[in-house]
Amino acid sequence: MVKSYTSLAEIKSAIANGNTTVEKLAKECLDNISKHARLNAFNEVFHQETLIRAKDIDKKIRQGAAGKLAGMVIAIKDNICYKGHKVSASSKILNNFTSVYSSTIVERLLAEDAVIIGRCNCDEFGMGASNENSYFGPVKNFADETRVSGGSSGGSAVAVQAGMCHAAIGTDTGGSVRQPASFCGLIGLKPTYGRISRHGIIAYASSFDQVGTITRSVEDAALLLEVMAGPDEYDSTLAKADIPAFNTRKSTSVKKIAYLQEALSSPGVDQEVKGTFINYIEKLRAAGHIVKPIAFESLDYMVPAYYILAMAEASSNLSRYDGVHYGYRSPAATDLESTYKRSRSEGFGKEVKRRIMLGTFVLSAGYYDAYYTKAQKVRRLIKEKTDEILKEFDFILIPTAPEPAFPIGKGEKDPVVTYLSDIFTVQASLTGAPAISLPAGNNSKGLPLGLQLLTRHFEEQELLNFSKYFLEL
């Protein structure tokens, strides 16, 4: 089984010893995809292409000419463009659309000999925390098929969780890599905003969207970050900072760690999540680290500020899907106006339409200052407070989500339930800080739990080093 390999280093060792080949690994992944098709993790699998590419990479390995990612089978979220392949963002409005170019990250992954096995199901346009808002139906959690996978990169997480690939690429706007990684017992990394190119990523909220990784090991998260990061002439928001070789070394120095006391006092946080959180705080203290509680008075404003800003940006970004240029066009349209109205009302799902309408409302005359401008001011306050904390502390420790994976259908009854799933992930999104979700065992029902570490901008190396140490506590 592919899932028995926890890192690419193990895979490369097995290949070098003659115990496996890239082709054999690819076949095992394809077998697992077929075996676990009911989980609905993939929107499309590149069967023949995967096997042909795997054979080519085996040849490169024999010739000593293979790239850094040779042996790694990767799945990509269905909002990442790959030339000559369909990309839909799990939306009817982009059904059967084929990308005419590849995203920068796909080009960089292929250049290092990764095998891309398929495109994964996700919440439509990345809007959701449960992967239930997909035109292709919900993704089921491999740990308990009655539970959600998390979202919006739920298919990416379950693909790794169930051994359908070795690692997966998702996007994280308000927690969309970290939360599903937590729900599936995996490592989810959201780098600093501006670290990885967004060129060729279907936009949801441009000032938040960031490419992230879902892996079984910190080493693989580091390697994928190293391969994908760096300047790109197609993305002007990228930092000019040099990209180091993210070689993970287990951190050994004493660290100062802050934790949000609201995570323990809030009645909305699951008791077993609190128990796990307390357990790790005690482990860190026993190991000699300085761990202190801090108050974050703006916690209650994070989710409202995030959703106002994200929905406003979504309203703008999704205006391009009009039924005229490409994608779904309503067969009932009779003129230009009805083409717009019918195509958008029939092509977008309920949650996407809700967010477009709310975003349009907060940007409208008379409400712009009351909502959008105020949310921007709150965002600035949250960033300043976070930066202030990180001047004194090395890391902020918080749960990834307030509860484990919840039952499928729960969010349908009350959308606010899924919005509040982002309570602990949106801080890193609002501030642009790097954050990582790390597996922290299972609860009494066998559902995975995750804890999250945030640190200063562009200090992914320290974050990865300490994550490696943290997982061995």
User: Residues 247-303: pLDDT tens digits?
Assistant: 777 777 999 999 999 999 989 999 999 999 999 999 999 999 999 999 998 889 999
How confident is the model at residue 1, as a pLDDT?
A: 45
> Does 347 score more than 90 pLDDT?
yes
Q: Which residues pair with 453 in a beta bridge?
A: 397, 436
DSSP 240-274: -------------S--EEEEETHHHH-TTS-HHHH
* Cβ-based neighbours of 416, under 8 Å, separated by 6 or more: none
pLDDT tens sequence across 296-332: 988 899 999 999 999 999 999 999 999 998 899 999 9
Contact 153, 172 (CB under 8 A): yes
How confident is the model at residue 331, as a pLDDT?
A: 96
pLDDT tens sequence across 48-107: 999 999 999 999 999 999 999 999 999 999 999 999 999 999 999 998 999 999 999 999
* Cβ-based neighbours of 279, under 8 Å, separated by 6 or more: none
- Model confidence at 415, pLDDT cuts 50, 70, 90, reads confident
Q: Give the CA count within 13 Å in the CB-facing half-sphere of 143.
A: 27
Kindly state the percentage of the chain with pLDDT values over 70: 99
* Cβ-based neighbours of 293, under 8 Å, separated by 6 or more: 258, 259, 260, 261, 264
How confident is the model at residue 242, as a pLDDT?
A: 75
Catalytic residues, by residue number, are 77, 152, 176
How confident is the model at residue 247, as a pLDDT?
A: 74
Q: What is the CATH number of domain 2-228?
A: 3.90.1300.10
Mean pLDDT of the chain: 95
How confident is the model at residue 136, as a pLDDT?
A: 98
Q: What is the mean pLDDT of residues 388-413?
A: 93
Contact 125, 91 (CB under 8 A): yes
User: For residues 223 and 169, what is the distance between their CA atoms, to the nearest angstrom?
Assistant: 13
Lookup: tokens for 82: 């790959």
How confident is the model at residue 120, as a pLDDT?
A: 98
How confident is the model at residue 252, as a pLDDT?
A: 78
Q: What is the mean pLDDT of residues 413-426?
A: 84
pLDDT tens sequence across 13-36: 999 999 999 999 999 999 999 999
Beta strands in 103-250 (DSSP E): 115-120, 140-141, 144-148, 167-172, 187-190, 210-215
Identify which of 180, 182, 203 has the alpha carbon closest to the alpha carbon of residue 75.
Answer: 180
Query: What are the extents of the domains in the chain?
Result: 2-228
3 state SS of 290: strand
Output the pTM of the full model: 0.97
More confident residue, 41 or 417: 41
Taking the alpha carbons at both ends of the chain, their separation in whole angstroms is 27
- Maximal C-alpha separation, the chain: 71
pLDDT tens sequence across 125-135: 999 999 999 99
How confident is the model at residue 21, as a pLDDT?
A: 97
